[in-house]
């Protein structure tokens, strides 16, 4: 009764009956109870453009309970009306809102500063301001609007200290990556390239699929990859769906490409011949006269004098016939100009579809790239096709699974050169005499032409290559204890098949009208086939713990990595081609047949860890390490520990630092030390290898084998 009486007094001067007072008390109690149990608040977080934001952290400032938005920007949290929620996200200003209803929509403001930028590092991410290692990162803008054969070529000059060295200018060739110069004399120096955490070929993926590229340049940042991170690490992250609605994007481009630097060849026949004669005489102490311009054109002093006379009199006829019916040449041929186009057409088409819902997100893309080649004859055409399908499913609040599959197919026509099988430019320099025209009056090729550019003009010789690369990664991610503890894992298989067929047939030419000859060298009249099969299996399992207590920030990572590689190859050469249009190795008689094969298999395993501690967002400490094992080495040398440590101090956050942030936004002093090994060696090179051969001598009616 006392409780009822107090309520009555609180209601002022109203004096209802006891029954009414009891009824009002019950009603008031129900309303208070109703407010108290209003415990679930739902909402959607968007940016100012209406795009939903995933990964935004929401904290109830009263209960300190935390959650984060899903891929559709949605969240659910326990809160009562009147309590305040704090929202934080990388790249967005912190926001505090009061709960006014069971459903709320929140708009986040972007923060225009690099200090909140997240950088991909080994097996995770970090804020850029918290990095203590030498790390650089570029986004997708480095690849947009550029028409090049592969993503590797697009990184040239983009990231500091990343040296991109092309093997040559062929569109199918992947360059090597080197960070901060060569660090090994005899065991390579190319950086480790990881695509979505798995070793891969950057030239085999669609440049438009790339979200970011990060380089780990010092031992402090690379030690988590152990013996494979010796020459630095390049981390490539591919795109995923970002918005809550389906998005379809197409981009297409057509362009003309032309050589930037051109070789300068002498195209005046008489000038070339006279310089050759002068150089030959000087080399031989003026004691002899050449009989040929190198190998392919007859030379006499009478011919040189006649050539001079014809030039002075303006005679344009380039081919005459001597008393034996042989062609005599007085040409002014431009071998380079005849062989190379002024420009070539390139087209690139990209299509992507992405979207997400409350539980699922997807990203699907495709690319077709066509390079028409720079040669006028038997051109070096290159085509590549890419597809990718990436999807993720939020199974529960704490479990997400995803799958990422991509496929690349590339084919390339690489024209061969006859001569001695050397480089086309070397052959032109040696035997592409401008004094000898490419074509005779009857349309056949001259000897000089057959020796240098004949393979291109004849169109039969060259190497056709085809490369197929299929990769699939299945992964999961779990979150526990308000996202302070996470467990992640992934399993990847990769199948790469490379095939090439090289055909070398003798090139026809003539030295007399109606008399056809064939250029016979040790390099032609054969077909050579290569088949290489690479099989990869990769697995990672690791956990993260992250927590902030007052001015102290802690983050730890511990994981296990397993990798297995298998390589098979066959190499077959056959001579005696049935005709000049052979494209299959079965269409050769095989008077001389050679066949070899290759095989190796090895495994790498490792336990890796990282620990971070930050005090007051100023003092940064990090430790990385990996305990690595590889079957490439002898049993007593297969394991090694590769630790690193780094520290940093953000001077710009010290109380005594009063420089205008617009002039200097962040000033950091850092130091690091690390130890790395070198696993870039051939498998089992420590073993003795015995080669089995067949003797030429016949013993007891047989040719015995020997080692």
Residue-wise pLDDT tens digits, 231-245: 889 999 999 887 667
**Tokens matching residue 526:** 């054969």
pLDDT at residue 17, rounded to an integer = 40
Q: What percent of the chain has pLDDT over 70?
A: 91
> What residues have CB less than 8 Å from 283, skipping those under 6 apart?
none
Greatest mean pLDDT among 148-162, 358-372, 677-691 lies in 358-372
Element (H, E) at 675: none
Instruction: Identify the residue whose tokens are 């431009």.
Output: 334
Measuring CA to CA, how many Å separate 81 from each of 26, 36, 482, 548? 22, 9, 21, 27
Measuring CA to CA, how many Å separate 11 from each of 2, 5, 7, 30, 36? 14, 10, 6, 17, 22
Residue 162 pLDDT greater than 80, yes or no: yes
Tell which residue, 227, 149, 265, 323, has the closest CA to residue 608.
227
d(CA 497, CA 611): 40
**Tokens matching residue 597:** 């094969």
| pTM greater than 0.75 | yes
Q: Are strands 74-78 and 84-89 parallel, antiparallel or unpaired?
A: unpaired
Residue 297 pLDDT greater than 50, yes or no: yes
Q: Are strands 176-179 and 192-195 parallel, antiparallel or unpaired?
A: unpaired
Which segment of 66-70, 505-509, 663-667, 693-697 scores lowest on mean pLDDT? 693-697
Q: What is the pLDDT of residues 581-608, one digit of tens each?
A: 777 888 777 778 888 999 999 999 999 9
CB 118 within 8 A of CB 127: yes
d(CA 335, CA 434): 7
Residue 3 pLDDT greater than 50, yes or no: no
Q: What is the DSSP letter of 82?
A: T
Residue 353 pLDDT greater than 80, yes or no: yes
Show the CA angle centred on residue 136, arms to residues 135 and 142, nearest 5°. Answer: 160
**Tokens matching residue 271:** 């000038």
Length of the chain: 707
| Range 382-398 average pLDDT | 95
Mean pLDDT of the chain: 86
CA distance between the termini of the chain: 110
Strand partners, 551: none
Which segment of 291-300, 489-498, 681-690 scores lowest on mean pLDDT? 681-690
Residue 110 pLDDT greater than 80, yes or no: no
- pLDDT band for position 102 (cuts 50, 70, 90): confident
Phi, psi of 211 (to 5 degrees): -90, -40
pLDDT at residue 11, rounded to an integer = 31
**CA–centroid distance for 518 within its chain:** 44
pLDDT at residue 32, rounded to an integer = 41
pLDDT at residue 624, rounded to an integer = 96
> What residues have CB less than 8 Å from 615, skipping those under 6 apart?
551, 552, 553
Residue 497 pLDDT greater than 60, yes or no: yes
- pLDDT band for position 75 (cuts 50, 70, 90): very high
pLDDT at residue 512, rounded to an integer = 92
> What residues have CB less than 8 Å from 203, skipping those under 6 apart?
149, 150, 151, 152, 153, 173, 174, 175
| Range 336-346 average pLDDT | 90
d(CA 324, CA 22): 135
Residue 419 pLDDT greater than 80, yes or no: no
Residue 392 pLDDT greater than 50, yes or no: yes
Phi, psi of 272 (to 5 degrees): -60, -50
Which segment of 27-41, 174-188, 285-299, 491-505 scores lowest on mean pLDDT? 27-41
86: left (phi over 0), alpha (psi -120 to 50) or beta: beta
Tell me whether residue 467 is exposed, middle or buried, using C-beta atoms within 10 angstroms of its C-beta: 0 to 12, 13 to 18, 19 or more: buried
Tell which residue, 443, 444, 447, 380, has the closest CA to residue 419.
447
pLDDT top residue among 282 and 171: 282
Q: If DSSP states are collapsed to H, E and C, what string results for 237-267? A: EECCCCCCCCEEEEEEEEEEECCCCCCCCCC
d(CA 703, CA 98): 93
Residues 666, 669, 675, 677: is their CA dihedral positive or negative? positive
Tell me whether residue 267 is exposed, middle or buried, using C-beta atoms within 10 angstroms of its C-beta: 0 to 12, 13 to 18, 19 or more: middle
DSSP string of 417-486, one letter each residue: --TTS--HHHHHHHH--TTS-SB-TTSPBPHHHHHHTHHHHH---EEEEEEEEEEEEEEEEEEETTTTEE
CB 56 within 8 A of CB 69: yes
d(CA 162, CA 652): 28
Which segment of 454-458, 467-471, 634-638 scores lowest on mean pLDDT? 454-458
pLDDT at residue 477, rounded to an integer = 96
Strand partners, 360: 393
CB 123 within 8 A of CB 114: no
pLDDT at residue 20, rounded to an integer = 44
**Tokens matching residue 379:** 């051109």
pLDDT at residue 244, rounded to an integer = 67
- pLDDT band for position 36 (cuts 50, 70, 90): very low
**Tokens matching residue 523:** 């390099």
Strand partners, 291: none
| Range 494-519 average pLDDT | 91
pLDDT at residue 186, rounded to an integer = 58
> What residues have CB less than 8 Å from 596, skipping those under 6 apart?
570, 571
Residue 70 CB neighbour total at 10 angstroms: 23
Radius of gyration of the chain (CA): 36
Q: What is the pLDDT of residues 175-204, one digit of tens each?
A: 778 887 766 655 567 889 999 998 988 888
DSSP string of 571-630, one letter each residue: EEEEE-BSSTT--SGGGB--SSEEEEEEEEEEEEEEEEEEEEEEETTTEEEEEEEEEEEE
Q: What is the pLDDT of residues 537-559, one digit of tens each?
A: 999 999 999 999 999 999 999 99
d(CA 227, CA 602): 15
Tell me the residue ranges of DSSP E strands in 325-398.
327-329, 344-356, 360-371, 382-394
| Range 353-382 average pLDDT | 92
pLDDT at residue 420, rounded to an integer = 57
Strand partners, 464: 413, 501
**CA–centroid distance for 477 within its chain:** 25
Element (H, E) at 34: helix 18-36
Residue 10 pLDDT greater than 60, yes or no: no
Longest dimension (CA), the chain: 143
Which segment of 150-164, 366-380, 392-406, 542-556 scores lowest on mean pLDDT? 150-164
d(CA 40, CA 60): 12
């Amino acid at each position: 009764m006392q409780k009822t009486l107090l309520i009555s007094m609180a209601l002022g001067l109203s004096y209802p009956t006891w029954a009414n007072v009891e009824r009002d008390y019950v009603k008031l109690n129900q309303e208070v109870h109703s407010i108290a149990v209003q415990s679930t608040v739902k909402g959607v977080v968007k940016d100012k453009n209406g795009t939903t934001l995933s990964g935004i952290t929401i904290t109830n400032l009263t209960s300190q309970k935390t959650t984060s938005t899903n891929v559709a920007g949605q969240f659910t949290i326990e809160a009562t009306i009147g309590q305040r929620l704090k929202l934080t996200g990388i790249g967005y200003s912190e926001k505090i809102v009061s709960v006014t209803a069971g459903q709320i929509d929140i708009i986040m403001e972007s923060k225009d500063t690099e200090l909140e930028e997240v950088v991909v590092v080994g097996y995770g991410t970090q804020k850029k301001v918290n990095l203590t290692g030498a790390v650089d990162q570029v986004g997708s803008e480095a690849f947009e609007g550029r028409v090049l054969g592969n993503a590797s070529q697009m990184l040239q000059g983009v990231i500091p200290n990343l040296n991109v060295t092309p093997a040559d200018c062929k569109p199918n060739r992947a360059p090597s990556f080197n960070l901060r110069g060569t660090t090994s004399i005899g065991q390579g120096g190319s950086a480790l390239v990881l695509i979505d955490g798995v070793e891969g070929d950057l030239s085999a993926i669609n440049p438009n699929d790339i979200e970011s590229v990060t380089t780990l340049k010092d031992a402090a940042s690379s030690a988590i990859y152990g013996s494979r991170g010796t020459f630095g690490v390049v981390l490539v992250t591919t795109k995923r769906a970002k918005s809550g609605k389906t998005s379809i994007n197409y981009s297409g481009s057509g362009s003309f490409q032309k050589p930037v630097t051109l070789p300068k060849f002498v195209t005046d026949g008489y000038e070339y011949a006279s310089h050759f004669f002068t150089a030959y005489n000087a080399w031989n102490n003026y004691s002899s006269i050449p009989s040929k311009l190198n190998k392919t054109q007859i030379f006499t002093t009478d011919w040189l004098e006649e050539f001079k006379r014809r030039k002075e009199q303006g005679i344009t006829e380039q081919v005459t016939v001597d008393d034996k019916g042989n062609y005599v040449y007085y040409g002014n041929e431009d071998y380079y100009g005849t062989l190379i186009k002024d420009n070539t057409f390139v087209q690139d088409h990209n299509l992507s579809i992405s979207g997400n819902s409350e539980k699922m997100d997807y990203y699907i893309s495709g690319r077709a790239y066509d390079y028409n080649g720079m040669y006028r004859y038997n051109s070096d055409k290159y085509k590549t096709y890419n597809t990718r399908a990436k999807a993720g499913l939020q199974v529960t609040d704490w479990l997400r699974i995803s799958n990422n599959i991509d496929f690349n197919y590339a084919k390339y026509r690489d024209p061969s050169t006859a001569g001695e099988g050397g480089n086309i430019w070397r052959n032109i320099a040696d035997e592409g005499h401008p004094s000898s025209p490419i074509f005779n009056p009857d349309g056949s090729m001259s000897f000089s032409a057959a020796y240098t550019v004949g393979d291109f003009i004849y169109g039969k010789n060259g190497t056709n290559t085809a490369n197929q690369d299929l990769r699939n990664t299945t992964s999961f991610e779990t979150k526990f204890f308000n996202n302070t503890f996470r467990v992640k894992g992934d399993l990847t298989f990769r199948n790469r098949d490379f095939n090439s067929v090289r055909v070398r047939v003798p090139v026809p030419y003539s030295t007399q009208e109606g008399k056809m000859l064939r250029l016979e060298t040790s390099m032609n009249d054969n077909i050579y086939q290569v088949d290489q099969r690479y099989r990869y299996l990769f697995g990672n399992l690791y956990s993260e713990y992250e927590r902030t207590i007052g001015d102290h920030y802690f983050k730890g990572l511990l994981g296990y990595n397993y990798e297995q590689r298998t390589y098979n190859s066959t190499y077959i050469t056959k001579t005696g081609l049935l005709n000049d249009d052979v494209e299959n190795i079965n269409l050769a008689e095989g008077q001389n047949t050679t066949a070899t094969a290759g095989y190796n298999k090895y495994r790498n395993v490792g336990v890796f860890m990282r620990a971070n501690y930050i005090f007051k967002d100023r003092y940064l400490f990090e430790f990385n390490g990996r305990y690595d094992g590889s079957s490439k080495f002898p049993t007593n040398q297969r394991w090694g520990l590769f630790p690193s440590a780094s520290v940093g101090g953000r001077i710009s956050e010290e109380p005594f630092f009063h420089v205008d942030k617009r002039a200097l936004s962040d000033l950091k002093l850092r130091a690091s030390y690390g130890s790395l090994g070198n696993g870039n060696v051939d498998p089992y090179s420590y073993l003795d290898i015995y080669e089995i051969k067949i003797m030429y001598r016949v013993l007891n009616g047989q040719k015995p084998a020997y080692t």
